[in-house]
Structure 1
Amino acid sequence: MSGSLALALMLVVNNSALAQVEVVDKPPSASGWRAETVAEGLPQPWGMTWLPDGRLLVTGKEGSLHLVEGKRVQPVALEGLPTLFTGGQGGLLDIAVHPADKTNPRVYMTMASGSDSENRTVLVQGVFDGKRVHSVKTLFSVTPGKSGGQHFGSRLAWMPDGTLLMSIGDGGNPPQRVGSMLAREQAQNLGSHHGSILRLTAEGKPAPGNPLASQKGALPEIWSYGHRNIQGLAVDPKTGRVWASEHGPRGGDEINLVEAGKNYGWPLQSYGLDYKTREPVGTKVVPGMVQPLVVWSPSPAPSGLVVYSGKAFPQWQGSLFSGSLAGEDIRRVALDAQGKVTKQERLPIGKRVRDVRQGPDGQLYVLTDESRGSLLRIVPQ
């Protein structure tokens, strides 16, 4: 363990006087809904975004991009993509369209680039001309590089001010190392992008006003840190609050309300267990580190995340919807006006859920994580 982490652990006080989060197993099932199939045959889908004309772009982990129009699914050419690494959890990952573009929109994608021995999460941008995404260029690359196929992140979410949030995983589980540190210790290293949420301009530069930009040794792109592997990221269009769903280790998956400059604890603060030793990773409460709003154990393996504002289910408005891979469901987390959790329930899907988004029609859409995945829509029963 690095000296800085050992020192931080020495500063942990008696946790008995501090509040812990109640860990939830499997919430009760929700009623009054059903899932209908919109389209099928999507190769290993990972992320989705709507174009200004209402059509849908879906990334495939192995490097494909598809356009969904009604039930029709057709491939979209990607011209100029960097070297794609598809080992383990790597591949072509999330996708977002610049919200200001109405024609020839700029398309942003995250991906793992490199080889098994040297890879990193990168952000690329291209232009969609109606048939293809061309002029793809790399806007941002994570530093330092790493090896192996674990914990790339990586979700994208636009902020109301036009800046872009991008989540970066910690790099992997022990014994995986990044430089002289265990990979997971990078989440407390402000000289590394690993284990953080970044805030970037539309050109991939550090966004003005980032909270740690003036701190010596801190990378200027970092917006929050102490994260393990965020695979759900959502900005509430009404309140501006930023929410993230995060993979813990064995048990201890989280939903966090994320704020600029805050430390979310990993790996010093955690509700999970080490995969090999079955011992707790860190402690459940560390002073000065932000507690999660939700903790799930056993781990459902959270995926895409969205704040619902549609009209089909008025009783669900303002709730978070988090997909889950291992849980094969969608978790609804009801919130009050202050952002506190009031209720949880689940929508059993029966398949691994990779992404959950709200479409321009106000409906909830779901991608299933399969070699030939499906696009589902949640509608009233």
Structure 2
Amino acid sequence: MLKVGSSAFRKQSLGILAIALVLGGCAASSPISSETPESEAVVPEAVASPETGEAAAAEAIAQAPQSIEPVTLVEGLEHPWGMAWLPDGTMLVTERPGRLRIIREGQLDPNPVPGVPSVLAVGQGGLLDVAVHSQFAENPWVYFTYASGTARANQTQIARARFDGSTLSDWTVIFEVERDKSDGQHFGSRLAWLPDGTLLVSIGDGGNPPVELDGDLIRNQAQNLGTRFGKVVRLNSDGSIPSDNPFVNTPDADPAIWSYGHRNIQGLALDPATDQIWVTEHGARGGDELNAVQPGSNYGWPVVTHSREYWGGQISSEQSRQGMVDPLVVWTPAIAPSGLAVYRGDRYPQWQGHLFAGGLVSRDVRRIELDASGTVINETPIDIGQRVRDVRQGPDGLLYILTDEPNGRLVRLEPS
């Protein structure tokens, strides 16, 4: 397992060096991309010829490190949280105070979309993630997660509404955490479509001590299959429960549960090439995690954890246990991960299959490279300079970022 802060990083050369070797066969010094970590320069071997030189040069370019520039497209978003695209390229962006915004052709519509009801915008709560139905042309539904209730009694809810391009209608709650909790912490709550048309939703564990449920610390509910706290749930598009969920036939278990033992997942992404689900979740004091999630699995919180209490005390003496899944990356100190994408486009060919994890505290995006077995072999920070709330791959094959600020930005990573 790669531990952030260790020396298990690699440095790669710029494409200019690879091209020089391919076309001229010469060994020459070359600048090293400032965005890659230090370790070693690796250059593919090739011999140029009239027949093969052009193809070999193209291959060298494809394998060279990617240099990018973060470009601000839109400003003036108030604590944006999630983004999604309609088939025509229109972008929908949620603002945590309770507004849905439209960005068309790079321009922010000054008027919020009508039809969003009041949400609980307290602490970490508010209008959170957004997702467009996977077959929007036939089913013009937009899905939302948000906090509902009061500061003393609240829950995460999932709703959908019809969208005609300008207005939401038929807002309907299709799923909720049935038990109320107090305080404004740990709502989750990311959305991700699976290839079979079902929807994954991450739900937080309910909060930090001293928040309780039924006389016990509420975070312990992450291990309780009878509640929805600290879980990933899987739903049909209408909010009903799929009959093949892993705990459908388990006595006293909530049939919506897909995986459990989570603290507060705010990064959730499907790799469309492998169907693997990846999540990033907040630890407490340190111990943020990257996990490869499988249905029915237990990810340990709070029985096993690399986190410590915010005041410094130990949460658990165990960091691993048989029957519980270990994280692939542990971030200590915390980066406060939020927003996650798996890159499968053609605009950054060197980054195929890499993960991109946003960091609120670290104010950057972590590019995470995997080997063929799914093991993390490299991590590189891309500085953004503001709290990163969401990271998504757009329909144009570029990566987009939302920053969590009173004057939040939409940023695009452009190849340079």
Verify the 8 A CA contact 1:104 1:128 in the aligned structure 2.
Answer: no
Decide which of 23, 27, 44 is 2:3's aligned counterpart. Answer: 23
* Letter aligned with residue 229 of structure 1: N
- Tell me what 2:395 maps to: 360
Question: 1 CA distance for matches of 2:338 and 2:256?
Answer: 23
Q: Residues 197 and 137 (structure 1 numbering): CA distance in 2 closer, same or farther, change over 3 Å?
A: same
Give the drift of 1:100.
Answer: 0.7
Verify the 8 A CA contact 1:80 1:135 in the aligned structure 2.
Answer: no
Verify the 8 A CA contact 2:285 2:312 in the aligned structure 1.
Answer: no
Decide which of 186, 189, 206 is 1:171's aligned counterpart. Answer: 206
- Tell me what 1:373 maps to: 408
Q: Residues 210 and 243 (structure 1 numbering): CA distance in 2 closer, same or farther, change over 3 Å?
A: same
Verify the 8 A CA contact 1:354 1:367 in the aligned structure 2.
Answer: yes
Deviations 1:245-292 (A, max 9, x none): 000110000000000000000001101111124324341111110001
Note if 1:98 corresponds to 2:133. yes
- Tell me what 2:385 maps to: 350
Give the drift of 1:80.
Answer: 5.7
Question: 2 CA distance for matches of 1:80 and 1:318?
Answer: 35
- Tell me what 1:150 maps to: 185
Question: 2 CA distance for matches of 1:205 and 1:25?
Answer: 43
Bigger radius of gyration = 2
More strand by proportion, 1 or 2? 1
Question: 2 CA distance for matches of 1:244 and 1:84?
Answer: 25
Question: 2 CA distance for matches of 1:55 and 1:181?
Answer: 45
The worse-fitting range, judged by mean Cα deviation, of 339-348 and 357-366 is 339-348
Question: 2 CA distance for matches of 1:281 and 1:51?
Answer: 44
- Tell me what 2:48 maps to: none
Task: Report which structure shows greater RCO (CA 8 Å, sep ≥6).
Answer: 1
Unpaired runs of at least 5, structure 1: 1-20
Structure 1 residues 304-343: aligned runs within 5 Å: 304-343=339-378
Note if 1:272 corresponds to 2:307. yes
Deviations 1:10-43 (A, max 9, x none): xxxxxxxxxxx44213878436111011111112
Note if 1:199 corresponds to 2:179. no
Verify the 8 A CA contact 1:39 1:71 in the aligned structure 2.
Answer: yes
Q: CA RMSD in A?
A: 1.5
Verify the 8 A CA contact 1:310 1:362 in the aligned structure 2.
Answer: yes
Question: 2 CA distance for matches of 1:70 and 1:78?
Answer: 20
Tell me the number of residue pairs that the alignment of Structure 1 and Structure 2 aligns: 360
- Corresponding residue SS for 1:315: helix
Note if 1:229 corresponds to 2:264. yes
- Corresponding residue SS for 1:77: coil
Structure 1 residues 76-225: aligned runs within 5 Å: 76-79=112-115, 81=117, 83-102=118-137, 105-225=140-260
Task: Using structure 2 for the length normalisation, give the TM-score.
Answer: 0.84
- Tell me what 2:295 maps to: 260
Note if 1:240 corresponds to 2:220. no
Task: Using structure 1 for the length normalisation, give the TM-score.
Answer: 0.92
- Tell me what 2:71 maps to: 36
Unpaired runs of at least 5, structure 2: 11-34, 37-65
- Tell me what 2:53 maps to: none
The worse-fitting range, judged by mean Cα deviation, of 159-168 and 38-47 is 38-47
The worse-fitting range, judged by mean Cα deviation, of 31-40 and 363-372 is 31-40
